[in-house]
Amino acid sequence: MKIMKQSIAFLAALVLVSSATLPALPTAAAGSYDMAVTVDLSGSGKPISPYIYGINEYGHQEDLKNLRVNAVRQGGNRMTGYNWENNASNAGADWKHSSDNNLSKSDAPADCVQQLSKEAEKYGIGYKMTTLQLAGYVSADKNGSVSEAEAAPSDRWNEVKVTKGSAFADEPDLTDGTVYMDEYVNYIINKLGDSQSKTGIQGYSLDNEPALWSGTHPRIHPQPVGMKELSDKSIEVASAVKKLDPNAEIFGPALYGYTAFDHLADNDSSTEWETLKSAGGYHWYLDYYLDTMKQASDKAGVRLLDVLDIHYYSESCRNGTEDRLQSVRTLYEKGFVENSWIGQWCQTNIPILPTVQNSIDTYFPGTKLAITEYNFGGEDEPSGAIAQAEALGCYADANVYFASLWGGSEYILSGINLYTNYDGKGGAFGETLMPTTTGDVSKSSAYAAQNKDASTVTVMVTNKSLTDSEAAVISLKGAKKSYKKAAVYAVTAGSPEIKLIDTVDVSGDKLTVNLPAYCAAMVVISDDANAFDGAQQEEKVEKTAVYDDPMSMINENGYVEIPITDPEHLKKIVITGDATSRLGSSWGSAGCAVCINAVAEDGTKFWTSKGYSIKLGSGSSATVNFDGTLTNKEEEVSAVVADGKVELQQWWDSSEKKQEGDEEYDITVKYTKVEVIYEYSGTSLRGDVNKDGSFDLADLVAMQKYLLASGTLADWEAGDFLGDGKLNAKDLSMMKRELLK
């Protein structure tokens, strides 16, 4: 920043007279308030597991390039029927019970887990978890749909046995009709090293969502899983793993949600749960599972369950934005009642995470807690980032050991990066959580942490108001250091990208941060007064080409053809369509692809595609992202669209009335709009609205003239101090304050 001493007087005068020459600053809206955020730095705090910043591999391979995470899980429905010997897997009811090469096109044994290891090494991910199969059978082939008549046992399936009982082979026998779990783990260790090695697997999941097997995988396990059955299988597999890799961590039982926590897959026609509950005096199913694993561990002389594994998909967030903004509170706040059947009928176990922890403490103390699938929704709106940011803070506070997001994009992923890479340079939330409170969590949630030497305090704070910007007054209680400067990085309504929106001074262990409406922010507080000098933000300008009648753009091949006018700056394509079902299905989706002729940097031309899906109904939207790399023969290379166009093709569909594959192409897609978005980047100096390379009084004058409609700005975005996509008197006020400093 350049500012001459003789200009200070003029600046002060300008501040005094500005209220006469500009419209008055907006007054606080009804219901707005100053957020009172108190961070208690007097104690030692508690460590945060780095593995709560995790993601599921399935569907996120491309996201790993732009998302910084510390853990990755290889799991999901596809893994229940996965055959490690040939990499065949089965989709189950998710899609025509198809056995195919969805997880890997390779026939090499354990290729999936080897690719997981390579991905983790490439992106610096330290913790890797894969899934072992417990349901009884896995895909024998990659020959497509499995009919009901071909349900296991049949030649479409190989039987799963836990222990081989004889010497392990260097390469598996593909002709014996059997796969062995202990041979699989041994193969992994021989190929990648054990759990203590850099390339090895640290955690093993005891299958996936067993309470749903009879619905998701009826060709494998048509009857609801029994409670004793699941415990017995869990104990047997865990024992086999521990013999081969004693330090590997066992995760189980990967329950799909609240109902499974309570009574697994038991229903009114079964008496198993009532019998076990009465005999053991258990509160809910989790108690029984933990107790049986504890008893088996004591008998074996080795811990057979290291991490209790649950999944959590919020019921209330399905109602939309307002409920999503409050949805995380069900996990941690006593007395909170969410807008769903859980809020209505299940208050005995709310808040959920403390209740789960109580089960652990009672029946198997020392067991860690994992949430290996979760998603609060809102990928295309700020509520997604706000809920995601609050969830990660909640996980840290609840001593969660491992958490991995399932699905999600855009705003949701930014909610993770806000903790792990807020400045694009590896800036991350501190390692030690410090007690933090806000006046009203319905309006603002906050979590804070210190780094190892306490030189930096990071405060995640949200503004849940959809309309009002707010002042967050952050008090650093009991600080042992003198903090001097803070920077504010935020995800706002203007963009899912994290931006530096302000730098402020710390005075007397207090600072005030102005937050735009509807945002999640990371406030980075440093003991170095010069920590953020010369801070610059990336200026990213988007230009969008909109095609409102895509169905008129069908080419000679019979596909909608979309022009790409600037391949090097292509950022994303947003595709909107109406999907209809010929069979009258109540749900379904069409699997589509943006098909591309590409050219690599070395001039090599190749064909590739990027997949997306359109859900049944009208106005379903999908986003296909581009980052300068495209896949050529399963390898990512720097490449762009070669011939200035792409095609939209439909490859498959799945719906309620088409599970056996008897009807082809049940769902038809009519595209209603396609938006092609290009992004242009440069370096924007905050406040340099006249773009002369410095931030000084000339910029303040230019900004004032612009707001009085008597001038123009060379760099409009540099003046958007609030980061809300607007320029107004609040931005001018913040600009003045910055110059006065």
Mean pLDDT of the region 154-177: 96
Cα–Cα distances in angstroms (integers) from residue 19 to residues 713, 719, 722, in the given order: 21, 19, 19
pLDDT of 25 > 70? The answer is no
Given a contact cutoff of 8 angstroms between Cβ atoms, the answer to whether 488 and 500 are in contact is yes
pLDDT of 706 > 60? The answer is yes
pLDDT digit string, tens, across residues 540-596: 677 899 999 999 999 999 999 999 999 999 999 999 999 998 877 777 888 899 999
Per-residue pLDDT band for 329 (boundaries 50, 70, 90) equals: very high
* Strand duo 635-655 + 629-632: pairing: antiparallel
Q: For position 336, which CATH number holds?
A: 3.20.20.80
Return the higher-pLDDT residue of 699 and 163. Answer: 163
pLDDT of residue 543: 84
Structural domain range at position 221: 50-418
Domain count along the chain? 4
- Please say which residue of 534, 551, 584 terminates a domain: 534
Report which secondary-structure segment, H or E, holds 238. Answer: helix 227-244
Active site residues: 209
pLDDT digit string, tens, across residues 514-533: 999 999 999 999 999 999 88
Mean pLDDT of the region 656-676: 74
- HEC secondary structure over 592-617: EEEEEEEEECCCCEEEEEEEEEEECE
Q: Are 677 and 546 found together in one domain? A: yes
Q: Are 181 and 54 found together in one domain? A: yes
Asked, for residue 424, whether it belongs to a domain, the answer is no
Q: Are 337 and 478 found together in one domain? A: no
Mean pLDDT of the region 386-392: 98
- Please say which residue of 534, 558, 591 terminates a domain: 534
> Which phi and psi angles does 71 have, rounded to 5°?
-150, 150
CB atoms within 10 A of CB 357: 17
pLDDT of residue 664: 53
CA dist., res. 306 & res. 487, Å (int): 39
Asked, for residue 285, whether it belongs to a domain, the answer is yes
Residue type, 54: G
pLDDT of 3 > 80? The answer is no
The tokens of 712 are what? 């123009």
Give the E-state strand segments of 398-557 in sequence order: 402-405, 432-434, 436-438, 446-450, 456-463, 470-477, 485-492, 495-505, 510-515, 519-526, 536-547
Q: For position 657, which CATH number holds?
A: 2.60.120
Q: Are 633 and 504 found together in one domain? A: no
Indicate the average pLDDT of the chain.
Answer: 90
Alpha helices (H) along 71-218: 111-123, 181-192, 213-216
Given a contact cutoff of 8 angstroms between Cβ atoms, the answer to whether 588 and 665 are in contact is no
Asked, for residue 305, whether it belongs to a domain, the answer is yes
Asked, for residue 423, whether it belongs to a domain, the answer is no
pLDDT digit string, tens, across residues 621-665: 889 989 889 999 878 899 999 999 999 999 988 776 655 444 555
Q: Are 180 and 270 found together in one domain? A: yes
CA dist., res. 472 & res. 463, Å (int): 9
Q: Are 530 and 550 found together in one domain? A: no
Asked, for residue 30, whether it belongs to a domain, the answer is no
Dihedral sign, Cα of residue 449, residue 451, residue 456, residue 458 = negative
